[in-house]
Amino acid sequence: MKRQPSKPVRRTKSRKNSKKITQGTILKYSALLLFCGFLVAMAYQYRHGFLYWLGFKTDKRVEALSKEERKIENLRIYEIVERHKEKVFGIDVSHYQDKIDWETLRNNNDEFPLGFVFVRATAGKNKVDGEFRNNWIGAKEQGYLRGAYHYYRPDENSLKQADNFIKNVTLSKGDLPPVLDIEKIPNGQSLDSLQVGLKRWLDKVEDHYGMKPIIYSGESFYTDFLKEEFEGYDLWVASYSFFEDEIRNDWLIWQFTDKGELKGIKGMIDVDIYNGNMEGLKRLCK
C-alpha cells in the first residue's frame, strides 16, 4: 500500500533561539546606555571646556569643584607647569575674585611664580568692573607687569564700548597692550556685523594708545568666527582641554585653566602662560 505524501512540516523557531535573540538585544541596549552614560559623564566633567568650544562662556564665577575634580585639575596644572618652566605665568582677574590680598599673593606663592596680571577694566558700553581700580593699583604696587582688558558685548555699539575702555584705562610706561575679550556670538546681528564692530573697537583703541590690541577668545570660537578676518593680531587663547598640555606656537598667551588656586585670592582663578621669557614679555609693553 502506497503511503500518502506527508504534508510539509512548518518549522518554528525554538524557544532557545528566541531566548538568545532577546539576550542579544538586551546586551546591545545595555551597551548603548552605558555609552550614553559615559558621554554624559564626560560632558559634565569637561562642561566648562565644552562651553568655550561652543563660544558661549560668560564672565561668571566658576562653581566649586568636588574633591575628585580638584585632584584631577591639580594634576593637570602641575603637569602643564612642569612643561613650561621656561615660560612666564600670569593670571587674569575681575570682581569675581572679590578683594584680592595682593601682598599675600606676591609673597606666598613661591611654587607658582607669577610675572603678569591682566585686569578686567570694562564691559560693554557703560560698565566698569567693580574691582578694577583696586586690582590695577595692587598689581602695579606688587611689581607685576599689568594689562587691562575689555569684555565685549556683541549686541552693543562697538565705538561706545571703545570709549568706555579709553575713558577708564590709562596705560603707563611698562604696561601690557590692551585686550579685547570676545566670547559670544551676537543675538541681534549677523556675524559680519560682529566682525565689523570688533574691527572698529580694535582700530579706535589702537589709535588712542599707539599699541596693537591683543584678542582673547576661546580656541574654537576664534577659529570658526574670527581667524580669517583678524589675522595679524596677537592671540590669547582659552583652552581647557584635558588633552591640551603644551602652548601652541601661534598663541601669544594660553589660558590653560580657570580653576587655579593661589594664596591671597578667594575661590578659583584663571591661570595663563606667556609664550616666551620675561624679556620678551617686557618688549610687548608700552
Q: Are strands 145-151 and 269-274 parallel, antiparallel or unpaired?
A: unpaired
261: its cell numbers: 588656586
Highest mean pLDDT among 15-19, 26-30, 275-279: 275-279
Rounded to two decimals, the pTM is 0.78
The contacts of residue 259 (CB under 8 Å, 6+ apart) are 62, 65, 73, 77, 268
Average pLDDT value for residue range 187-196: 91
Distances, alpha carbon 235 to alpha carbons 212, 223, 229, in Å: 11, 11, 13
> In the prediction, which pLDDT does 14 show?
47
Looking at the DSSP bridge assignments, the partners of residue 138 are: none
- Whether residue 18 is predicted with pLDDT greater than 80 in this model: the reply is no
Looking at every residue in the chain, the average pLDDT score rounds to 86
Q: pLDDT tens-digit profile of 127-140?
A: 999 999 999 999 99
Q: pLDDT tens-digit profile of 150-162?
A: 999 999 999 999 9
Give 55-284's CATH code, choosing from 3.20.20.80, 3.40.50.620, 3.40.50.720, 3.90.110.10.
3.20.20.80
Average pLDDT value for residue range 245-253: 96
- Whether residue 33 is predicted with pLDDT greater than 80 in this model: the reply is no
Average pLDDT value for residue range 99-119: 93
The residue with greater pLDDT, 212 or 65, is 212
pLDDT band at 175 (very low <50, low <70, confident <90, very high): very high
253: its cell numbers: 598667551
- Whether residue 276 is predicted with pLDDT greater than 90 in this model: the reply is yes
> In the prediction, which pLDDT does 197 show?
97
122: its cell numbers: 570694562
Q: Are 87 and 280 in contact (CB under 8 A)?
A: no
| Active-site annotation holds for 92 | yes
Q: What angle do helix axes 47-54 and 15-45 make, rounded to 10 degrees?
A: 80
| Active-site annotation holds for 129 | no
> In the prediction, which pLDDT does 50 show?
47
Find the catalytic residue in 73, 181, 183, 258: 183
Q: Which residue has the cell 561652543?
A: 54
Find the catalytic residue in 92, 131, 175, 261: 92
Q: H-type helices in the chain, by residue range?
A: 15-45, 47-54, 67-83, 102-107, 132-141, 158-168, 191-209, 219-221, 278-284
Q: pLDDT tens-digit profile of 41-97?
A: 655 555 444 444 444 444 555 567 888 888 888 899 999 999 999 999 999 999 999
> In the prediction, which pLDDT does 26 show?
73
Q: Are 203 and 165 in contact (CB under 8 A)?
A: no
Domain map (residue ranges) of the chain? 17-48, 55-284
Long-range own/partner contacts, residues 55-59 (CB < 8 A, 24 or more apart): 55/183, 55/184, 55/185, 55/217, 55/218, 55/220, 55/221, 55/224, 55/225, 56/183, 56/184, 56/185, 57/183, 57/218, 57/238, 58/183, 58/184, 59/94, 59/96, 59/120, 59/123, 59/151, 59/181, 59/183
